Amino acid sequence: MKILSPRFISINIISQPSKRKRIELFYIIAPANVTTGGPELLHQLVYELNQMGLDAVIAYDRCSKNNMEPSIPQQYKRYVSEFITADLIPDTKDSYVVIPETRPFYVKQFKNATTIFWWLSVDFFKIQCDPKYKFENQGIPQAIKALMLQTKKRAFASIKKAPIHLYQSEYARQYAISHGIAPSALIKLSDYVNDDYRTGIDYLSFSNRRQNVLYNPKKGRRYTEQLIKLAPNLHWIPLQGYSNQQLVSLMKESMLYIDFGFHPGKDRLPREAAACGTCVITGKQGAAAFENDYPIPEWASINQADVSPIEVVQTIQYVLNNYEQLIEEFSPYRSMIKGEKEVFKADLQTFVHSINGLEKNADVQ
């Protein structure tokens, strides 16, 4: 693992049919020492850009709650072997800076570099900027501060300076448009689940599974606790403290994953579970309300406002008792997950071509 200074990064010169030489150097800003779905996707982007023959490097934001020095998490070393810190990104015309939705104010810091804002989620952007979500997640003082400083208004003023907005989900696309981002500025760049989960998706065994009900204890906790109290006899398993390999093993022997929390984008755990052969039941918060993001059977997408917790438990019990019949209804979801990596690569080509278009327009001007 190496920490790089920008002046030491090698730059690939890519010859085009026009014989014009162009320098492509991408800096992908990511939170340091964080191992969740969004940061993994940022590392995957660096890997795929480098695989295309472009130069890309992860740039860690030094702002970290734990005050640890940035380092590459072990599970991301499959994607990257070197990094810089975001404060070292050169603000030059040959720099392309990808900024995640949790760092909106980075956009306005760059005067010469081309900035690309990536809507990895919607809700984490709201938590950063929206007083209402600040109140719900961080308390009254932070909400008042955001209100007084007009944080949401300033955040949108910042990100609207980015000529390209990438979006991971249909939920994010519609949110961005509803807040004044031009549809022509939006380009789809989704993601793909870790290969640990996708390997063997065509050879899953759906027989002799255990009646486990898997859930994420960090999301929808209060509602899930209601369900557990109503059916304490069921085998509820919180997904925490497991390695990827342990999760894969557990999911491949289980029947069901539930998720009644917020879905800031196309979340990974539901897809990882489905890729391992579980049925998936979700609420309709955030991206889970969009069929393009969650192509699961209609009965498995539950509006908690319209259905009582007792009815939800009855649905869970029905799935456990009829798993081998119902799992076939999740074939479209598994097919989508299986093809995500190739779709991501195709999306990435579209994105890179859009960069070319920006360069041509700049030349004309």
Instruction: For residue 50, report the phi and psi dihedrals to the nearest 5 degrees.
Output: -65, -35
Contacts 24+ apart (CB under 8 A), 230-237: 230/309, 230/310, 230/313, 231/313, 231/316, 231/317, 234/316, 234/317, 234/320, 235/210, 235/211, 237/212, 237/213
The pLDDT, as a whole number, for residue 125 is 83
Exposed (0-12), middle (13-18) or buried (19+): which is 331, by Cβ within 10 Å? exposed
Q: Is 111 helix (H, G, I), strand (E, B) or coil?
A: coil
The pLDDT, as a whole number, for residue 143 is 66
The pLDDT, as a whole number, for residue 359 is 58
The pLDDT, as a whole number, for residue 132 is 73
Residue owning tokens 């800003």: 29
The pLDDT, as a whole number, for residue 55 is 93
The pLDDT, as a whole number, for residue 199 is 84
Instruction: For residue 261, report the phi and psi dihedrals to the nearest 5 degrees.
Output: -95, -170
The pLDDT, as a whole number, for residue 41 is 93
The pLDDT, as a whole number, for residue 180 is 93
Each residue's pLDDT expressed in tens, for the chain with a length of 365 residues:
444 544 333 333 232 322 323 445 899 999 998 888 889 999 999 999 999 999 999 999 976 555 678 899 998 999 999 999 999 999 999 999 999 999 998 999 999 999 999 999 998 888 777 767 666 777 777 767 767 767 777 777 888 999 999 999 999 999 999 999 999 999 999 999 988 898 889 899 999 999 999 999 988 899 999 999 999 999 999 999 999 899 999 999 999 999 999 999 999 999 999 999 999 999 999 999 999 999 999 999 999 999 999 999 999 999 999 999 999 999 999 999 999 999 999 999 999 988 876 654 554 44
The pLDDT, as a whole number, for residue 150 is 73
The pLDDT, as a whole number, for residue 34 is 87
For 279, residues 6+ apart whose C-beta sits below 8 A from its C-beta are: 255, 256, 257, 300, 319, 323, 326, 327, 330
The pLDDT, as a whole number, for residue 18 is 28
